[in-house]
Amino acid sequence: MGKLQRIGVLTGGGDCPGLNAVIRAVTKTAIFQHGLEVYGIFDGFLGLIENRMQPLTWQSVSNILTQGGTILGTSNKANPERFMTGKDASGEPIFSDVTEKVVNNVRSNKLDAIVVIGGDGTMSCAHQIIRRGIPCIGVPKTIDNDLMYCDVTFGFFTAVQTACDALDRIHTTASSHQRIMLVETMGRNAGWLALHAGMAGGADIILLPEIPFDIQLISRFCQDRFKSGKKFTIITVSEGAKPIGGQVVVDRIVKDSFEAIRLGGISNQLALQIESQTGIECRSTILGHVQRGGSPIAFDRILATQYGHKAIELLAKEQFNQLVIYRNGQIDTVPIAEVANRQRLVSLDHPLLLSAEDIGVCLGKP
């Protein structure tokens, strides 16, 4: 396709600490090391659909390393293959495939390739335009840490720290009031965030989507702690956790979104059930979007910078359509096609799960 001259960069899906660090690394590496023009695409794939972008300079990305969010904006509703273009007479959304419009906008702006920063949904969208001939490099972003083949996505450990800080504070009020306290984390169908936060925050019970729980077992565990002199219990529960033979708790349906089903509220239900079965006062706290916000911790700033730098190095070598990943302690790559529409879950033999069980943490299973 000839020598690269101009590239685009976008951030898709939910926001996440470290996005600006990637944008900064991508832009500065592209300009300083390879003399490329860099265009920032606004609001993820929505910017490609609506043709909204502008040049980025090294000055425009200076001093954004520590900022949360993304200076480019993002969207989790702009799937080019299924984009809402209106509503029918009954108010239901009408979806259309606008991928060709995206391709035309990329070509009319003379973008030679695009750096796509996002999670599994965003990589699925990238895979669509790759098949239409648009070269892409993916950078793994999600606090859920659920991208295939990637041990750590940037933003994950900042979210873990945020949840851990909340658990530390919950501990003091649980102890003071002799309560069972539940803290609900994000994560969708993957339990990485709840598992790491629960372990770091000293949770007594950790409930994950990968391990359906027994509510009676949980209640007995809480009662046994109370009888043994431990007058409070801390439960970390992932939003995607569900009882044995039961279903996840759906907070709402967003019909025009790439991920229409929004989970949330399992901790409220559990609090009512456990209090009813144990007679011990229960309270629940849903952390929600506080886990997505704020400045990235040092680890995520460094990881995001490494990811952004590697993305440009791949483009410069014309090693297109790869996702930059962190695997076995080093920066690596995998084809975007291999991660599209897939999700990395906590394996039942994961060492952290085994550690949790060995120190007496209840995982809700017999």
Active-site positions read: 144
Question: Of 123, 140, 124, nearest to 325 (Cα)?
Answer: 140
Comparing CA positions, the residue from 303, 9, 295, 22 lying closest to residue 151 is 303
SS3 8: strand
Q: d(Cα 152, Cα 252) in Å, to the nearest integer?
A: 29
- Give the residue carrying structure tokens 């027994």: 214
> Residue 241 in contact with residue 209, Cβ under 8 Å?
yes
Tokens in use for 57?
Answer: 């300079």
**Residue 311, C-beta contacts closer than 8 angstroms, at least 6 positions apart:** 22, 26, 115, 137, 138, 139, 324
Q: How many residues would you count in the chain?
A: 366
Structure token digits, residue 62: 């200076």
Residues 6+ apart with CB under 8 A from 271: 180, 182, 282, 283, 284
Burial class for 356, CB neighbours closer than 10 Å (0-12, 13-18, 19+):
buried
Tell me the C-alpha distance between 306 and 25, whole Å.
8
Written as six digits, the tokens of 66 are: 């520590």
50: exposed, middle or buried (Cβ count in 10 Å: 0-12, 13-18, 19+):
middle
CB 143 within 8 A of CB 16: yes
Q: Which residues of 82-105 are buried (b: 16+ CB within 10 A; e: fewer)?
A: bbbeeeeeeeeeeeeebbebbbeb
